[in-house]
């Protein structure tokens, strides 16, 4: 009944590790790392997230055919959770840097490390559904896959992604123009 | 014709085949839509750039790390699959004061009731933090008085007789679940917990903390924790996970020989070994000791307030949508419906159940 480790009444989750773990890992690991890296902007952090996600997957009963979609969504959520926990720090760093750096325009800015921090802060501020849709879409999932993952109609995926992109651009612009 | 919305324009960039012919034709001939499309393209390009970076992964190194982690974490499978069990958890958190299992009021004698379940509320935290919550036996001695024993009985009537509880009748089974359930019962379970300042100090030291001095009277205080009896009806017993489980049980109560609930609770919540976010949520619970926390990992579960038959209920759904549960309290009895189902399905079972 509960997935958490502690609780009043617990129906335990399966403890055994699934037999197809290595096979799924080898085919899906690059995708899972890439999803997390888009959020975190750091490969080592992304690999930590991927480990976490595969550990959970290893004990799950997710059907093999749905594994890639499940893992991608889990990677996006877990990476965004990591962002949230580090959000205060990220926002503070952005605030500190805003006062000393000069960013001429958004397109140039995105390549800088500084910009990475802004992207992280912007992603952390987006509504969760928008952030996940944005990251999954930019990780190559189709509209149908994103729709299934987020319980959206394929028609509204475009709207959700578009809103996220506008919000992201505005966040980046806001910082760029507040110099 | 009406202009296609922003979402359609956005999809046109990625999956033109997914956009209706009429919309595509309209955009081609409409300056306003073409401008909208160009804006969408610019924003998409900014996002692509913003979300780029070093995306390579080292598969072999990753697999090596994962297999080590799996091997270290893997615990021996617990013999015979006990589908539900009562833990001694929260207790740790609200510490001593809290919960599970226990002696009846009659057996309590001069015991003072310090906790009774009147409400169930989720406490959500990252799984990593939940794992950090200390177990009760890290604060003292936990001695079972009436150990948890669960056995199968022949039918609903036997389950009712063994527990004194009304067995919920499920009329409409969700899709994919069929047949007759098996019934399992557990008698009341109870345990005695003795707080040990020395043990608590050792636990804290092992984690690199120093504890503030305990309030007078806490060291050596005894707490009696009780829960049950309870029953469970399970469908699809032969499968790795049951298709549907309905559980009903008498909720936990705790008794103390002296230290008031508030004193123990405030002390335990002040300890540095509880994750701060967990402690903060527990602090919001009423000081009277009537809220049973339900620990949930934010990564896996989310909870929603709902109702079943006019009674407030909590719906839990796993984020991977593989599992849902709904639970509600009626007096001192908690009922839960759970399974590898959707939230709507468990709610339909719960709401269609007779007699509640």
The two tokens of residue B291 are: 């809220």
Q: Kindly indicate the confidence band of residue A177, based on its pLDDT and cuts at 50, 70 and 90.
A: low
In a domain, A8, yes or no: no
Domain of residue A72, CATH code:
1.10.1740
Q: Omega into B188 within 30° of 0, i.e. cis?
A: no
Signed CA dihedral, B128, B130, B133, B135: sign only: negative
Chain B residues with CB-CB distance to A42 below 8 A: 53
Instruction: Give the pLDDT score at B110.
Output: 58
- By CA distance, what is B231's nearest residue in A? A9
To the nearest whole Å, the CA of A153 is away from the closest chain B CA by 11
Q: How far is B91 from chain A (nearest CA, A)?
A: 10
Chains A–B, number of C-beta pairs less than 8 Å apart: 241
Identity of the residue in A42, A85, A162 whose CB atom sits nearest the CB atom of B40: A162
Nearest CA in chain B to A69: B320
Kindly report the nearest CA distance between residue A15 and chain B, in angstroms: 7
Mean pLDDT of the B145-169 span: 88
Q: Domain end: A31, A59, A85, which one? A: A85
Q: Based on the fold, state whether residues A55 and A70 are members of the same structural domain.
A: yes
- Number of folded domains that form chain A: 2
Kindly list the residues from chain B whose CB atom is less than 8 angstroms away from the CB atom of residue A70: 320
Q: Is residue A13 part of a domain?
A: no
Residue A9 lies inside a defined structural domain of this protein: no
- Based on the fold, state whether residues A145 and A101 are members of the same structural domain: yes
pLDDT at B200: 86
Spatial distance between the Cα atoms of B314 and B336, rounded to a whole number of angstroms:
9
Last residue of a domain, one of A85, A117, A134: A85
In this structure, are A174 and A121 located in the same domain?
A: yes
Among A30, A64, A85, where does a domain finish? Answer: A85
ipTM of model: 0.77
CB of B130 within 8 Å of a chain A CB? The answer is yes
Q: Is the pLDDT of residue B306 over 90?
A: yes
Does residue A80 fall inside a structural domain?
A: yes
CB contact under 8 A, A166 and B51: no
Structural domain boundaries of chain B? Answer: 6-50, 90-352
Question: Do the domain assignments include residue A148?
Answer: yes
B329/A contact by beta carbon, under 8 A: no
Do A108 and A27 have their domain in common? no
Q: How far apart are the C-alpha atoms of A124 and A135, rounded to whole Å?
A: 12
- State mean pLDDT over A16-23: 87
Q: Please, what is the average pLDDT of chain B? A: 78
B311, containing H or E segment:
strand B311-318
Contacts of residue B241 in chain A, CB cutoff 8 Å? 14, 61
* pLDDT tens digits, one per residue of B312-330: 898 988 877 777 889 898 8
The answer to whether A7 contacts B295, with C-beta atoms less than 8 Å apart, is yes
Domain containing A96 equals 88-179
A104 and A165 assigned to the same domain? yes
**Same-domain status, A36 and A95:** no
- Judge whether B41 and B13 are in contact, CB under 8 Å: yes
CB contact under 8 A, A8 and B292: yes
Please tell me whether residues A74 and A156 are part of one structural domain. no
Closest CB to B84 among A11, A39, A55: A11
pLDDT given at position A10: 34
pLDDT score at B1: 67
The pLDDT of residue A18 is above 70: yes
Digit-coded pLDDT (tens) for B226-279: 888 888 898 875 555 678 889 898 888 888 876 777 777 778 888 887 888 888
Predicted local distance difference test score (pLDDT) of residue B286 = 65
pLDDT per position as a tens digit, B96-140: 222 222 222 223 345 667 777 777 777 777 777 777 777 777 888
**Is A81 in Cβ contact with B299 (below 8 Å)?**
yes
- Same domain for A105 and A177? yes
Spatial distance between the Cα atoms of B21 and B208, rounded to a whole number of angstroms? 66
- pLDDT > 90? residue A163: yes
Mean pLDDT calculated for residue range B186-207:
84
């Amino acid at each position: 009944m509960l997935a958490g480790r502690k609780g009043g009444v617990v129906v335990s989750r399966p403890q055994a590790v699934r037999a197809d773990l290595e096979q799924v890992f080898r085919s899906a690991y690059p995708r899972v790392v890439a999803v997390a890296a888009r959020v975190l902007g750091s490969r080592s952090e992304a690999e930590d997230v991927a480990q976490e996600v595969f550990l959970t997957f290893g004990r799950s009963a997710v059907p093999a055919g749905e594994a890639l979609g499940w893992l991608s969504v889990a990677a996006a959520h877990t990476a965004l959770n990591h962002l949230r926990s580090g959000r205060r720090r990220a926002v503070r760093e952005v605030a500190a840097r805003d006062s000393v750096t000069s960013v001429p325009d958004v397109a140039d800015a995105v390549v800088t490390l500084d910009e990475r921090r802004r992207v992280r802060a912007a992603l952390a501020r987006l509504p969760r559904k928008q952030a996940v849709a944005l990251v999954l879409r930019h990780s190559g999932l189709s509209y149908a896959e994103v729709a299934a993952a987020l319980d959206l109609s394929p028609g509204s995926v475009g709207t959700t992604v578009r809103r996220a992109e506008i919000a992201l651009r505005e966040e980046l612009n806001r910082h760029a123009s507040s110099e | 014709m009406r202009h296609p919305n922003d979402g359609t324009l956005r999809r046109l960039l990625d999956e033109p085949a997914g956009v209706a012919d009429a919309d595509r034709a309209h955009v081609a001939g409409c300056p306003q839509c073409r401008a909208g499309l160009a804006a969408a393209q610019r924003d998409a390009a900014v996002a692509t750039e913003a979300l780029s970076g070093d995306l390579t992964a080292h598969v072999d190194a990753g697999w090596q790390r994962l297999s080590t982690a799996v091997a270290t974490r893997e615990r021996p499978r617990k013999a015979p699959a006990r589908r539900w069990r009562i833990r001694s958890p929260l207790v740790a958190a609200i510490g001593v004061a809290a919960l599970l299992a226990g002696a009846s009021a009659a057996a309590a004698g001069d015991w003072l009731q310090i906790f009774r379940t009147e409400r169930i509320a989720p406490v959500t935290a990252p799984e990593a933090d939940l794992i950090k919550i200390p177990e009760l036996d890290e604060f003292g001695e936990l001695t079972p008085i009436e150990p948890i024993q669960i056995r199968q009985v022949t039918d609903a009537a036997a389950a009712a007789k063994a527990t004194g509880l009304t067995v919920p009748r499920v009329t409409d089974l969700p899709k994919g679940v069929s047949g007759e359930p098996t019934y399992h019962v557990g008698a009341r379970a109870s345990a005695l917990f003795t707080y040990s300042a020395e043990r608590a100090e050792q636990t804290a030291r092992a984690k690199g903390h120093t504890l503030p001095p305990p309030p007078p009277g806490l060291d050596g205080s005894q707490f009696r924790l009780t829960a049950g009896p309870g029953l469970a009806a399970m469908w699809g017993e032969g499968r790795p996970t049951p298709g549907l489980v309905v559980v009903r049980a008498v909720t936990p109560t705790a008794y103390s020989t002296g230290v008031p609930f508030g004193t123990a609770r405030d002390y335990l919540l002040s300890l540095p070994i509880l994750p701060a976010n967990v402690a903060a949520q527990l602090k919001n619970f009423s000081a009277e000791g009537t809220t049973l926390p339900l620990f949930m990992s934010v990564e896996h579960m989310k909870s929603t307030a709902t109702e079943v038959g006019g009674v407030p209920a909590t719906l839990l759904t796993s984020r991977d949508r593989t599992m849902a549960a709904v639970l509600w309290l009626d007096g001192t009895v908690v009922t839960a419906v759970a399974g590898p189902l959707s939230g709507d399905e468990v709610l339909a079972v719960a709401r269609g159940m007779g007699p509640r």
